[in-house]
């Protein structure tokens, strides 16, 4: 979701002169039902279609709805399930792109709202697109900007046309329409773009939820039409995902998806969840949406990044995740490790010779002790934030990768059970006497 630019009141350049994004290879789509361990060469695994990502399922767990897949972008293949580190302003905070890649990430998320406001799409375009600008060779998924407009911008006005807002940086006025959202993401050079949607308040009245679903569907159609126009001009090669809304109302979510399903989206996102509702309700909605989403398109649960939540959603058929939580916590001195949540700054670790996580193979865990990291945080050294972030990104990216391996090997249920029981044990968190 997102709303921006362009028209009457924008202070930025118009978006009509943006260069084409790199073109994607010819596309195929897997249309059949999945069976366990599909051979990629199997004729049912790849048949022709119009999907921009060529999403293929490699395996489907027989005990749960977990799936292992892959899709292609102009910047490499993405294996799913995948956790996408968040590079809000064109950088995963404190980390160089090589460090993000070394963590195993083959895709990251960048925030359209931030990059649109600063440095602006035109600057990114002149610098050769976001990949070259930030020196990241792998895939990039961009959000539509809508969520950031709602959470950061001032004086937002939502109408059928789109959203008018004031920048949180300088108060300048902007419009974000569904067409703008698509053009801006294309201008950034995104591999996977998101359709603009209207987020509903958890406390929203039924009429408001219904209106937001109508608007989300209208904006979905308009965003796709805009990508069609871009493609007529030789641009718009990026994939585009529709976002399912409807809050925690099953009937509204079903109605929203019934509308989205009629449109040729390359993937689907689950919107408006993990915003304060109970976890059982969140998971019920994930189950509800995934049961409706087609098997041959990737599914993306936005803004979820607690390790147990990720595995719970993978078990229900979700393929993609992103969240600022692991890296934001890391910069503040708290990291997830295989045995739970570790507050690095605690005095208990002052003389602890162990790595953050003895089961983690990241640069930080290979080289440094808890005692040293705790010292860096206490001393206010910026290296503390960098080293903790390296661990945090690696831990989440590798969790998704290990879940994938378990699905392919037919052992996801056991992997999840073992992971969760160990994560909840907290057994190595206390320093040895």
Residues carrying an active site annotation? 143, 322
Residue 388 binds Zn ion, judged by CB under 5 A: no
Find the binder of Zn ion among 38, 117, 362, 392 (CB under 5 A).
362
Q: Which two tokens stand for residue 244?
A: 């399912």
Find the binder of Zn ion among 360, 373, 384, 403 (CB under 5 A).
360
Q: Rounded CA gap, 16 and 122, in Å?
A: 10
**Based on CB atoms, which residue is closest to Zn ion, 153 or 362?**
362
Residue 365 binds Zn ion, judged by CB under 5 A: yes
Angle at 62 between CA 284 and CA 42, to 5 degrees: 120
Q: Among all chains, which residue has been given the structure tokens 């509308």?
A: 259
Residue 68 binds Zn ion, judged by CB under 5 A: no
**Based on CB atoms, which residue is closest to Zn ion, 250 or 367?**
367
| Min separation Cβ 379 and Zn ion, Å | 21
List all residues 6 or more positions away from 424 whose beta carbon is below 8 Å from its beta carbon. Answer: 308, 340
Angle at 416 between CA 58 and CA 38, to 5 degrees: 10
Q: Rounded CA gap, 49 and 51, in Å?
A: 6
**Based on CB atoms, which residue is closest to Zn ion, 141 or 362?**
362
Q: Which stretch binds Zn ion (CB under 5 A): 15-23, 134-142, 191-199, 362-370?
A: 362-370
Residue 386 binds Zn ion, judged by CB under 5 A: no
DSSP per-residue letters across 354-399: S-S-TT--SHHHHH--HHHHHHHHHHT-HHHHHHHHHHHHHHHHHH
Instruction: Please count the residues of this chain forming the interface with Zn ion, following the rule CB under 5 A.
Output: 5
| Min separation Cβ 360 and Zn ion, Å | 3
**Based on CB atoms, which residue is closest to Zn ion, 153 or 360?**
360
**Based on CB atoms, which residue is closest to Zn ion, 186 or 352?**
352
Q: Rounded CA gap, 106 and 124, in Å?
A: 21
Residue 345 binds Zn ion, judged by CB under 5 A: no
What's the DSSP call for residue 3? -
Cα Rg of the chain, angstroms: 21
Residue 391 binds Zn ion, judged by CB under 5 A: yes
The residues of the shown chain that bind Zn ion, judged by CB under 5 A, are 360, 362, 364-365, 391
């Amino acid at each position: 979701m997102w709303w921006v630019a362009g028209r009457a009141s924008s202070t930025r350049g118009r978006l009509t002169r943006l260069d084409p994004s790199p073109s994607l290879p010819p596309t195929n789509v897997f249309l059949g039902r999945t069976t366990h361990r599909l051979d990629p060469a199997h004729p049912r695994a790849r048949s022709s279609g119009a999907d921009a990502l060529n999403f293929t399922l490699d395996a489907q767990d027989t005990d749960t709805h977990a799936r292992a897949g892959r899709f292609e972008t102009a910047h490499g293949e993405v294996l799913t399930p995948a956790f996408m580190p968040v590079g809000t302003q064109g950088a995963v905070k404190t980390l160089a792109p090589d460090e993000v890649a070394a963590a195993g990430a083959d895709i990251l998320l960048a925030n359209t709202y931030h990059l649109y406001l600063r440095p602006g799409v035109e600057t990114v375009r002149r610098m050769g697109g976001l990949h070259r600008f930030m020196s990241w060779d792998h895939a990039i998924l961009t959000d539509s900007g809508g969520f950031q407009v709602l959470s950061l911008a001032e004086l937002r006005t939502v109408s059928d046309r789109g959203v008018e807002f004031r920048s949180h940086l300088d108060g300048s006025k902007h419009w974000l329409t569904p067409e703008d959202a698509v053009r801006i993401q294309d201008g950034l050079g995104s591999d996977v773009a998101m359709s603009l949607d209207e987020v509903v308040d958890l406390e929203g009245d039924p009429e408001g939820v219904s209106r937001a679903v109508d608007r989300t569907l209208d904006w979905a159609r308009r965003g796709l039409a805009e990508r069609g126009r871009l493609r007529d001009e030789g641009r718009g090669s990026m994939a585009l995902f529709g976002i399912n809304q409807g809050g925690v109302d099953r009937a509204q979510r079903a109605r929203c998806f019934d509308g989205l399903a009629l449109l040729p989206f390359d993937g689907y996102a689950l919107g408006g969840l993990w915003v304060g509702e109970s976890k059982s309700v969140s998971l019920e909605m994930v189950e509800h949406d995934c049961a409706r989403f087609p098997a041959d398109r990737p599914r993306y649960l936005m803004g979820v990044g607690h390790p147990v939540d990720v595995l719970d959603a993978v078990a229900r058929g979700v393929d993609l995740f992103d969240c600022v939580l692991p890296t934001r916590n890391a910069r503040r001195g708290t990291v997830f490790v295989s045995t739970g949540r570790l507050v690095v700054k605690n005095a208990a670790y002052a003389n602890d010779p162990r790595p953050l996580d003895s089961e983690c193979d990241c640069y930080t865990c290979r080289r440094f002790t808890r005692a040293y990291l705790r010292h860096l945080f206490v001393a206010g050294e910026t290296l503390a934030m960098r080293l903790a972030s390296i661990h945090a990104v690696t831990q989440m990216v590798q969790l998704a990768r290990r879940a994938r391996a378990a699905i392919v090997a037919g052992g996801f249920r056991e992997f999840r059970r073992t992971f969760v029981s160990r994560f909840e044990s907290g057994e190595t968190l206390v320093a040895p006497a």
